[in-house]
Chains A and B, each alone.
Chain A
């Protein structure tokens, strides 16, 4: 296993480097955006004297490298800095936004895995027949619908027309678990696209695996039916699916902006949107660090799973 350990260490080091690079890039990009927090805050009253006073109050008049150095120094002590706009700690922004996003992501994944794998295996089993054709065409069709449109459609039908579910989560704050009905539509929208891509991946992987020599060998030994499919073929199909799953979780955790906006769920995506619009650089930086670390860790996990499931495939680091 020492090979595996050095692989993990290498990946973590690389990940740390990647995170630093992401932060530097984000900093450079926010600096390059037209206008700064003072301009964004001044809004339609951009009285130059007032803008420069805001700039001074926010200490934006210091050179960029000095602000970056300050921020990096704070980061070494685990301090993500304070928001330019409100003066509250950025870590609090993240903590507040993390709960709803994590809840949405968990629920989505909990449904995504059984639905994606189940339908994928089913389609592969009946490849070319009616069930496969139905699953394949429906997933393709749903995949083609943008989230925003799907969300609006679902709200109109299930919330406004039929009245079965609440149209938004407005007023429920972060305590979404107390209002499970409000979660149904957002999770459905979040689920719609990943489930389609996962089904298609699993289906393709399964068909390949079922046709592979080792499954043929197992079949010759008399292994049959479910056992053949789940213990001999499925693991081979899992590797690409696991990596796809990691990317999906990453996408979910990084705050699915559209769904959060549409259903008024105060998660990380909402925090990010606000922070960018207000040029709240420390908040944007804090989010970039968190997203960077999450991406690295999740992909590492996926690669490890893939490594175990299909060692022959090698690991793409």
Chain B
């Protein structure tokens, strides 16, 4: 299987790309690998070595998995999709859009026409990536008869009016000014496939760093290095994606040397192995926002004083310690801690039961009873609900915890109930605002609908100047911090285990970003 290793390929000069340098990610040696017995010191952490197959285990989707990149829904799907395909842009560690297949982008004055220049890249069959491929891909995603995940993200584009202006240049016409348009290009699932491609499970052709070798749904996908990758060929000969849904199976397989990369480990597992030296533990900070979500359009949370009281009830440290086993950091009721445009200057909120009681009294909500919806759908949800119930009791609020079905939780809580557990993966702050907090947002779980807030969002999107935009975003975040419906109490680490031979795993990138689950920069020492 490793016939590639015999080919004397000169190692392509590694260009340190600007965004990697800027984010500090890239080819860092793994934390936790240096302290062991020293048997891994042969290659140091330093210069990449070519060759080998890396086996990576993810929780998967079973027998119904597909390689159609536009259907990517689970972490395993995305990891496979990003090995085979490229997007026009992707998120850096601070969730700002970084150019990928799009070499550069340029808006017109009104911010509603964007000219994109593609870089010189080829698909695995040798054809160049052209503007027509991009338009085909986006039109496929936006097909009204289909339900691809990225469809909502591409909504700002008027695809009928958009056109190719050359082989590698195109112009997107937007329905309205969108200063943050590059985020659309980086949207979850907006992959570029060759024009006319429909079936993806037998021989998918992409322009990503790896090319297709084999795929068995629910079990294994083997991809081989694509030597002509525009960013330089990957170090690995092959990467194999394996599916192991049980966390215990993933960690056992890693400890037993059956795999080299285990995605999504429990905090307790991580703690047990962190300083033992048998495996490396990588913590991707700021990956999963954890919140309670109050419906702001119905009692008791239609009264901002009650919402403020709830903000003050939460002991965030205790929630992080208890529900996340300490693997995370406290939140400040704002999304995207550490991301671009995050309003980091606002004071950290602390528990203040006295003020909470006073606010509840003012609102006439003494002896308040609320039902908190939770479900084992995400790590820490049921624990968080129990902890918050106890904290609320100290403020005289009776919280009744109701555990719902795992499989329909997200749609159950969207419009029903008054208070629920909530979680979100990393996305730009702009995307969080537009998807969840505007009057016409598709998943507005806090039922936050304010015309003036919508207007601020439009204002930000028509502001060319970055500082001006940051100021508008800060105003929006101040408002949410003061009286929003999201009680964001923490940001969980995303935990990955690696064999001691694995190098080059990005340690800064939250899950869902470019450097997460990125195997073209990884090598085996």
Which A residues have a C-beta under 8 Å from some C-beta of B? 33-35, 39-51, 53-54, 57, 83, 85-86, 88, 93, 96-97, 152, 155, 159-160, 163, 166-168, 170-171, 173-174, 261-264, 266, 270-271, 273-275, 277-280, 283
The 4 residue pairs across chains A and B that have the minimum distance between CB atoms: A274-B62, A35-B408, A47-B442, A46-B411
A88 to B68, CA, bound (A): 13
Shortest B88–chain A CB gap in Å is 21
User: What is the chain A residue whose CB lies nearest that of B255?
Assistant: A160
Q: Which interface residue of A88, A155, A170, A278 has the most chain B CB atoms within 10 A?
A: A170
Stretch at the interface among B214-222, B449-457, B477-485, B487-495: B214-222
**Do the beta carbons of A279 and B411 come within 8 Å of each other?**
no
* Other 13 A-B pairs with CB < 8 A, given A85-B64, A170-B244: A35-B407, A42-B410, A46-B414, A53-B146, A57-B145, A86-B217, A167-B253, A170-B259, A171-B55, A264-B242, A264-B243, A274-B61, A279-B407
Chain B 401-442 interface 0/1 with A at a Cβ cutoff of 8 Å (1 = within): 000110110111010000000011000000000000000001
Total residue contacts A-B, CB cutoff 8 A: 153
Which of B64, B256, B259, B407 is A39 in contact with, Cβ under 8 Å?
A: B407
Shortest A302–chain B CB gap in Å is 31
A88 to B64, CA, bound (A): 8
Q: Give residues 15-60 of B contacting A (CB, 8 Å).
A: 55, 57
**Do the beta carbons of A40 and B407 come within 8 Å of each other?**
yes
Interface: B443 (CB within 8 A): yes
Decide yes or no: A46 and B218 within 8 Å by CB, A160-B255, A262-B248 being known contacts: no
Stretch at the interface among B111-119, B147-155, B316-324, B337-345: B147-155
**Do the beta carbons of A274 and B252 come within 8 Å of each other?**
no
Chain B 223-244 interface 0/1 with A at a Cβ cutoff of 8 Å (1 = within): 0000000000000000010111
A159 to B249, CA, bound (A): 12
**Do the beta carbons of B146 and A57 come within 8 Å of each other?**
yes
**Do the beta carbons of B63 and A271 come within 8 Å of each other?**
yes
* B408 neighbours in A (Cβ, 8 Å): 34-35, 39-40
Decide yes or no: A53 and B147 within 8 Å by CB, A42-B410, A264-B249 being known contacts: yes
Interface residues on B, range: 35 or more
Shortest A58–chain B CB gap in Å is 9
Q: List 6 A-B contacts (CB under 8 A).
A: A35-B408, A96-B63, A166-B256, A264-B244, A266-B219, A275-B62
Interface: B246 (CB within 8 A): yes
Decide yes or no: A168 and B218 within 8 Å by CB, A46-B411, A46-B443, A270-B62 being known contacts: no
**Do the beta carbons of A277 and B407 come within 8 Å of each other?**
yes
Decide yes or no: A168 and B442 within 8 Å by CB, A53-B147, A173-B219 being known contacts: no
* B240 neighbours in A (Cβ, 8 Å): 171
* A88 neighbours in B (Cβ, 8 Å): 63-64, 217
**Do the beta carbons of B423 and A173 come within 8 Å of each other?**
no
A43 to B412, CA, bound (A): 11
* B152 neighbours in A (Cβ, 8 Å): 45, 47, 49-50
**Do the beta carbons of B407 and A170 come within 8 Å of each other?**
no
**Do the beta carbons of A50 and B442 come within 8 Å of each other?**
yes
Shortest A255–chain B CB gap in Å is 12
**Do the beta carbons of B65 and A86 come within 8 Å of each other?**
yes
**Do the beta carbons of B242 and A170 come within 8 Å of each other?**
yes
Interface: B371 (CB within 8 A): no
Decide yes or no: A50 and B151 within 8 Å by CB, A35-B405, A170-B259, A262-B248 being known contacts: yes
A283 to B405, CA, bound (A): 21
User: What is the chain B residue whose CB lies nearest that of A53?
Assistant: B147
* A93 neighbours in B (Cβ, 8 Å): 63
Shortest A42–chain B CB gap in Å is 7
**Do the beta carbons of B147 and A50 come within 8 Å of each other?**
yes
Decide yes or no: A274 and B64 within 8 Å by CB, A35-B405, A45-B410, A171-B242 being known contacts: yes
User: What is the chain A residue whose CB lies nearest that of B57?
Assistant: A170
**Do the beta carbons of A271 and B242 come within 8 Å of each other?**
no
Interface: B66 (CB within 8 A): yes
* A97 neighbours in B (Cβ, 8 Å): 63
**Do the beta carbons of A34 and B407 come within 8 Å of each other?**
yes
A263 to B246, CA, bound (A): 9
* A277 neighbours in B (Cβ, 8 Å): 62, 407
User: What is the chain A residue whose CB lies nearest that of B405?
Assistant: A34
* B246 neighbours in A (Cβ, 8 Å): 261-262, 264
User: What is the chain B residue whose CB lies nearest that of A173?
Assistant: B219
A273 to B243, CA, bound (A): 14
**Do the beta carbons of A57 and B147 come within 8 Å of each other?**
yes
* A50 neighbours in B (Cβ, 8 Å): 147, 149, 151-152, 442
Shortest B434–chain A CB gap in Å is 12
* B405 neighbours in A (Cβ, 8 Å): 33-35
* B57 neighbours in A (Cβ, 8 Å): 170
A121 to B278, CA, bound (A): 47
* B398 neighbours in A (Cβ, 8 Å): none
Q: Which interface residue of B55, B220, B240, B410 has the most chain A CB atoms within 10 A?
A: B410
**Do the beta carbons of A86 and B151 come within 8 Å of each other?**
no
A279 to B220, CA, bound (A): 23
A42 to B244, CA, bound (A): 22
**Do the beta carbons of B145 and A262 come within 8 Å of each other?**
no
Which of B256, B414, B424, B443 is A159 in contact with, Cβ under 8 Å?
A: B256
User: What is the chain B residue whose CB lies nearest that of A38?
Assistant: B147
Q: Give residues 178-224 of B contacting A (CB, 8 Å).
A: 216-220
Interface: B5 (CB within 8 A): no
**Do the beta carbons of B423 and A44 come within 8 Å of each other?**
yes
Interface: B122 (CB within 8 A): no
Decide yes or no: A43 and B410 within 8 Å by CB, A48-B442, A173-B219 being known contacts: yes
Shortest A49–chain B CB gap in Å is 7
* B252 neighbours in A (Cβ, 8 Å): 155, 159-160, 167-168
**Do the beta carbons of A261 and B259 come within 8 Å of each other?**
no
Shortest B380–chain A CB gap in Å is 15
A207 to B249, CA, bound (A): 43
* B219 neighbours in A (Cβ, 8 Å): 173-174, 266
A262 to B249, CA, bound (A): 6
User: What is the chain B residue whose CB lies nearest that of A46?
Assistant: B411
A170 to B245, CA, bound (A): 11
